[in-house]
Amino acid sequence: MKIVSRNSEARLYEKAKMMEEHPHASWRCLHLRLAEHYQYLRHHDALSAITQQLESSDGFMYFCHDGDILILFQGALRPVLGTLGERIDGLKPEQLLHPTKDSPFLLLDLGTQWQEFYRICQAKYWQIFPEAAAFTPYREPQQAQFS
């Protein structure tokens, strides 16, 4: 797992733009919306434990300035969830498959939820670089087309 904690919003957005041009149906994104829990997690060393447990997994972990964590990975969900479930109470596959509106966890299958993922990346980038939003025309993200 590649850990991205510096300039993470820009690097996440660049990754999304790059992925837009390539097949991404096998990719998943686990969005841990932890902004309000960030200080608690940092205080209890949960973030470093999560990082250590996932370092042998393949993918990317983006630590955003607002406290959110986006984990971008390919393939099976269960190994990543199993690892994270050891540290984050309530992180269960069932909860991710049927999330509530106020759930701090959001699982995105990039094969079917690409536009939502792209919008999240773009919004995070614009939150840090608001001047970019003023000069970037809005466009709907596109699914990669292959024949």
pLDDT at 101: 74
Please spell the DSSP secondary structure of 96-138, one letter per residue.
HHS--TT-SEEEEETTT-HHHHHHHHHHHHHHH-HHHHHHS--
- Give me the percent of the chain exceeding a pLDDT of 70: 65
End-to-end CA distance of the chain: 31
pLDDT of residue 81: 73
Tens-place pLDDT, residues 41-91: 554 555 666 677 667 677 899 989 888 889 998 877 777 777 776 666 666
Is 20 part of a structural domain of the chain? yes
Residue 116 burial (CB count, 10 A): 16
Q: What is the pTM of this model?
A: 0.78
Q: Which domain holds residue 57?
A: 2-135
User: Is 90 part of any domain?
Assistant: yes
Identify the DSSP state of 36.
G
Q: Does 146 reside within a domain?
A: no
Tokens 């932890």, residue located: 34
The tally of domains found in the chain comes to: 1
65 contacts: CB under 8 Å, gap ≥ 6: 8, 9, 127, 128
Q: Does 147 map to a domain?
A: no
Asked if residue 64 belongs to a domain, the reply is yes
Q: What is the pLDDT of residue 107?
A: 87
Q: What is the pLDDT of residue 23?
A: 87
Does residue 114 form part of some domain? Answer: yes
Do the domain assignments include residue 141?
no
For the segment 11-26, the average pLDDT, to the nearest whole number, is 92
Closest CA to 83 of 113, 61, 62: 61
**Residue 143 pLDDT:** 56
pLDDT level of residue 137 (50, 70, 90 thresholds)? low
pLDDT at residue 106 in the model: 86
Residue 142 in any domain: the answer is no
- Residue 92: pLDDT band (50, 70, 90) is low
Q: What is the pLDDT of residue 147?
A: 39
Written as one string, the DSSP assignment of 68-89 is -EEEEEES-SHHHHHHHHTTST
pLDDT of residue 144: 52
